[in-house]
Amino acid sequence: MTVTGRASGGSRPFAGTGRLLRLALRLDRLALALWLLTFVVLAAGVAAALDEYYPLEADRAQFAERARLTPAVLALTGPAVGLERAGGLLAWRIGALCVVLAGLMSIFTLVRHTRVEEETGRLDLVRSTPVGRLAPPAAALLVTAGANAALALALAATLVASGLPAGGSLVFGAAVGAGGLFFAAVAAVTAQLFTSARAAKAMATLLLGLAFLLRAIGDASNPTGAGLSWASPIGWAQRTGAFVHVRWWLFGLLFAAAGALLAVAFVLLVRRDVGSGVLAARLGRERASPRLASVSALGARLHRGGLATWTAGYAVAGAALGAVAHSVADLVSDNPAVRDMLARFGGGTQLVDAYLVAMFNLFGLAAAGYAVAAVWRIRAEEVAGRAEPLLATATGRTRFAASHLWFAFAGPALPLMAVGLATGITHGLRTGDVAGQTGRLLAAALVLLAGVWVFAGLATAAVGLAPRGFLAVWVALVACLLIGQLGPTLRLSQWIMDLSPYTHLPRLPGGESTPTPLVALPAVAVALTAAGLVGLRRRDLQPS
């Protein structure tokens, strides 16, 4: 046998990139397809809605006039430029949201193929085969960049199919893709800094949030956008001017910034050892605190950070919602079609309340997402092999499951309370009735728990009875989201609407409150949970 080590090692740092890229695509094909589908559904849905409610240039011009005078709305969307054109209005409405979503997709994908591989030790295995030193990061970057390119094309195709001009559609798609690529580069750097994938993702996501905040403040202070917005890469992507006046140089700026970050990541990468980070991991406690003495204490330890983040996020979002709710009602008050749609959403006659009902419904669905993820931890611990040493101690399966179920059922109350209180306070400040608004919005938020519990129960049933079919729970949640969001616009038949537990909830604030669903939905949740726990006690532990 001839020794060929020299040829396959240092002199060909990218050897094997193609094979690793195919592996990454194989591993991610479902996740990336779902991401793309999310963008397509979002863009098509909003385009259809805007077409229905603002069909004429005059409608849009009137809307634009009001939007320019509403800083709180501009903070959530972007600069009010070119809104009288159909494409401009759509780009304004979903542009920032799309860049944030593309950023999240890029961060998760890039970290999954870099730091996660390294943390789990799979990279050692890959690097022991004849692949070049730079092949794994190159494949990770290529798959993320490819996802953003596919996203750009899918968005553009969706907009063209919705009847918008092809040129503007392509520019819009490219802007979102370029924004996503920028945050892939951010994640490439954070993946070098931290040894834990969780920390790398958290830091990159924090920077994404900061970029959104900068442009929110900038856009709110000046309707055509200036100042701080120019410090935010999300602001750059929004200002590329799809459908209005294209600024090509901003694409150059985005790509140059991404390139600079990738260069930094490269320098950090080649200077460190596999498995290490630029920032050393902090040491932990030598002994467990006396409180860490039960499986529920462990559950609290595992869930508390996530729950605190959700609660803080809900408080910020609630404060923003309360600040804009009044203006949003004003903004659409002349448009009968929108009034009609919101009334169907909210079921009430008060436009502000109807808007709040629609938004709270979203918070309720997202809280159900938290609950489903919390229940999934039962299964995740089982799959990871961490449930086994716990269950080999004097810990029964019900108590082990309860350590997570406690957070799935009671946990969502915290973010929901936060959103109710925060919305109540800011909305109350604008309407001059803090005590009254806080009370009714807190009640409106807590009523949503009934819907959250049904999903927590469904997830528990899945873990106990059909652990390999857990994905169906997420599908059900997305289906309920679509039913709730598109149902009133598409005028779906009532039996489809009734499939979602959220359809049955009282439409608070403002709507009538009946006790029946508030008894029936928790009863369903309890029955599902009990069935799941019985299943979990009876079945084998299945690590896969």
Partner 1 sequence: MPDAIALRGLRKSFGQTVALDGLDLTVATGEVHGFLGPNGAGKSTAIRILLGLLRADGGEARLLGGDPWRDAVALHRRLAYVPGDVVLWPTLSGGEVIDLLSRLRGGLDRRRRDELLERFALDPRRRAGTYSKGNRQKVALVAALAADAELLVLDEPTAGLDPLMDSVFRDCVREVALAGRTVLLSSHVLSEVEALCDRVTIIRSGVAVESGTLRDLRHLRRTVVAAELAGPPGARFTPPPGVHDLAVEPSPDGADGVLLTCEVDQPGLAGLLRALADLDVRALTTRPPTLEELFLRHYDASPNGQARPAPAR
- C-alpha closest to that of 135 among 278, 19, 276, 7: 19
| Interior/surface letters 292-310, b for 16+ CB within 10 angstroms, e for the rest | eeebbebbbebbeeebeeb
CB of 292 to partner 1, least distance (A): 5
How many whole angstroms separate alpha carbon 489 and alpha carbon 483?
Answer: 10
Q: How far is the CB of 294 from partner 1 (least distance, A)?
A: 7
Q: Single out the residue of 2, 5, 394, 516 in contact with partner 1 (rule: CB under 8 A).
A: 394
Residue of the chain from 285, 432, 493, 494 that contacts partner 1 (CB under 8 A): 285
Q: Minimum distance between the CB of residue 385 and partner 1, rounded to whole angstroms? A: 4
Q: Distance between CA 421 and CA 352 in Å, rounded?
A: 17
Token duo for residue 290: 């006396």
Interface segment toward partner 1; rule CB under 8 A; list 182-190, 211-219, 259-267, 281-289 = 281-289
Which of 38, 195, 221, 350 forms a contact with partner 1 (CB under 8 A)?
Answer: 195
Contact status: 385 vs partner 1 (CB under 8 A)? yes
Select the residue interacting with partner 1 from 160, 217, 257, 302 (CB under 8 A): 302
Instruction: Indicate the angle between helix axes 397-409 and 449-465, nearest 10 degrees.
Output: 150
3-class secondary structure, 106? helix
With binding defined as CB under 8 A, does residue 392 bind partner 1?
yes
Tally Cβ neighbours within 10 Å of residue 445.
Answer: 29
Taking CB under 8 A as the criterion, the residue among 12, 133, 386, 430 binding partner 1 is: 386
- Helices 471-490 and 17-53 cross at an angle (nearest 10°) of 30
CA angle centred on 443, ends 437 and 447, rounded to 5°: 145
Pairwise CA distance, residues 137 & 171, whole Å? 28
Which one among 288, 472, 496, 519 touches partner 1, defined by CB under 8 A?
Answer: 288
Contacts made by residues 479-482, CB under 8 angstroms, sequence distance 24+ = 480/365, 480/368, 481/362, 481/365, 482/41
Per rule CB under 8 A, is residue 127 in the interface with partner 1? no
Minimum distance of partner 1 from residue 237's CB (angstroms): 34
Nearer to partner 1, 30 or 283 (CB): 283
540 binds partner 1, rule: CB under 8 A? yes
* Distance of alpha carbon 24 from alpha carbon 296, whole angstroms: 37
Question: Does the protein bind partner 1 through residue 284 (CB under 8 A)?
Answer: yes
Of the candidates 166, 146, 159, which has an alpha carbon nearest to the alpha carbon of residue 35?
146
- Binding-site member from 122, 198, 245, 272 for partner 1 (CB under 8 A): 198
DSSP 334: T
Among 395, 431, 489, 513, binds partner 1 (CB under 8 A): 395
Q: Is 469 in the site for partner 1 (CB under 8 A)?
A: no
Applying CB under 8 A, among 2, 283, 432, 516 the residue interacting with partner 1 is 283
The verdict on 281 binding partner 1 (CB under 8 A) reads yes
Identify the residue among 59, 118, 119, 219 touching partner 1 (CB under 8 A).
119
Question: Residue 14 is which amino acid?
Answer: F
What does the longest C-alpha to C-alpha distance in the chain come to? 85
- Residue 7 near partner 1 by CB under 8 A: no
Q: Quick one: 284 or 432, whose CB is closer to partner 1? A: 284
d(CA 486, CA 472): 20
Would you tell me which residues interact with partner 1 (CB under 8 A)? 119, 195-196, 198, 281-288, 292-295, 297-298, 301-302, 384-386, 388-396, 538-541
